[in-house]
Amino acid sequence: MKHTQRNDTLPPWIPEEYWDAIIQNDHTYDGTFFYAVQTTGIFCRPSCKSRAPNSDNVLIFQNTEQALAHKFRPCKRCKPTGERVPDQEWIHGVTEYINKHYAELLTLDVLAAASHGSPYHLHRVFKRITGQTPVQYIQTRRINEAQNLLQHTHLTVTEIARQVGISNPAYFISVFRKHTGVTPSHYRERHDSP
């Protein structure tokens, strides 16, 4: 069940009746308007059963062409264009989401909700398209950023771990060593030497 937001907190660009249609998954508004969520880069029909968005992140479009022109991708769940979203395009959107949010808590459920798919299907398609599981991709993204921070900042290993989304320094060191073959401190020494 989606939670409704107080009407006085709605942004001025969202008509109250449209917001109610989104929150209530009202199929009678399908075709009247489409809504896009800026944080996910996806647009939907009002009847979409995806998690309720934050109204501040919602944009309203009168047709799918407007949403596509603003670089939003159609939802894989409600198929607002009437066509199935190609897997390659869907996974590209998921990797973009990971690249923007890698420092946050990212679970398969979070990624599935953000990309409007099921966790199992997302895991299977992600691995087929990228050759990695979503967790492996997230770890690689985090370690790549950690390498950059080790080379270009004086942050401690613990600070870098937190900055890339790994709150446990010991776990960060273990994952870093697995990916690079060395500890973060040794990596930094190697790249600091003339």
User: Residues of the chain with pLDDT > 70: what percent?
Assistant: 95
Identical fold between 7-74 and 86-194: no
Q: Which of 14-18, 50-54, 64-68, 132-136 has the lowest mean pLDDT?
A: 50-54
Q: Which SS3 state, helix, strand or coil, does residue 31 take?
A: coil
Q: Does domain 86-194 have CATH number 3.20.20.150?
A: no
What ranges do the domains of the chain cover? Answer: 7-74, 86-194
- Between strands 34-37 and 58-61, the pairing is antiparallel
| Amino acid 5: pLDDT | 45
Q: Is 44 a catalytic residue?
A: yes
| Amino acid 82: pLDDT | 85
Quote the CA–CA distance of 116 and 107 in Å, as a whole number. Answer: 14
| Amino acid 4: pLDDT | 47
User: 44, 48, 75, 78: which is the annotated catalytic residue?
Assistant: 44
Cβ-in-10-Å burial (0-12, 13-18, 19+) of 163 comes to: middle
Q: What is the helix, strand, coil percentage profile of the chain, to 5?
A: 55, 10, 40
Quote the CA–CA distance of 54 and 5 in Å, as a whole number. Answer: 9
Q: Which fold would CATH assign to domain 7-74?
A: DNA Methylphosphotriester Repair Domain (3.40.10)
Q: What does the pLDDT look like over 13-47, one tens digit per residue? A: 899 999 999 999 999 999 899 999 998 889 999 99
Q: What does the pLDDT look like over 62-111, one tens digit per residue? A: 999 999 999 998 988 888 988 877 889 889 989 999 999 999 999 999 99
The DSSP code sequence of 164-180 is TT---HHHHHHHHHHHH
| DSSP state for residue 32 in the 8-state scheme | T
Q: What does the pLDDT look like over 105-131, one tens digit per residue? A: 999 999 988 888 889 999 999 999 999
Q: Residue 111 corresponds to which tokens in the numbers above?
A: 């990624």
Question: Which residue has better confidence, 49 or 194?
Answer: 49
Per-residue confidence at 178, pLDDT binned at 50, 70, 90?
A: very high
